[in-house]
Structure 1
Amino acid sequence: LCQQISKGLQRRSEAIQKAITWYNFQARRLDPLRPPISWKDIAQYSFLGEFNLLQHVQDDIRECMWAKPAVHEATTKFFKLCHTKEEIMRLNVEMCHL
């Protein structure tokens, strides 16, 4: 999972840099001030719950059901299971061609 996050961050680094710049600009304008973030901070996050800056929004999305680690893991396993069924069907078709 950490490798996937790292690769995702690398692929989207320019967009993330722009978002960091925009966040820091807006954070300076808020009352009370919000702490700035850096690329280093973002690169160390591995799950939504570690994004502490999300607690400052009007609705703390970390409290949403889909943000809970157990639900996230169950959803990931569900979709892997769905793809496994698709893969079995594809392999059955390929076996007929052999």
Structure 2
Amino acid sequence: MSTLFTERFHAVATSLTLAITVTIIMGCHAPDTGDNSQTTSPADNPQGVPVEQTEIPRLYVSPGSIVSSQEFRVTSTISGFIQEIAVREGDRIKTGDLLVRIDPSK
């Protein structure tokens, strides 16, 4: 009788273990509530999505700074007070352009 009891005990224990395992696995799955109001992604819609025309900006503003790779020293052969500055920062200049007007008399 001891062998019969042991066999039945193992059978019941195995069945109980299997039932608990299945219950745990099923409990990890979220139940289907039937609520279909969730939004779907384009990948969920095999028919596709409507095409919309939008404006793409042609100008992008981004902060930054520009540093020249070249630097030039400007000197004068005469001394005096500056009467006028003929150029502003960022102006394009070439050889011979007037940069400043100097009053040599002072």
* TM-score, L = length of structure 2: 0.21
TM-score normalised by length of structure 1:
0.22
- The structure that is strand-richer by fraction is 2
**Based on CA coordinates, which of the two structures has the bigger radius of gyration?**
2
Higher relative contact order (CA 8 A, sep 6+): 2
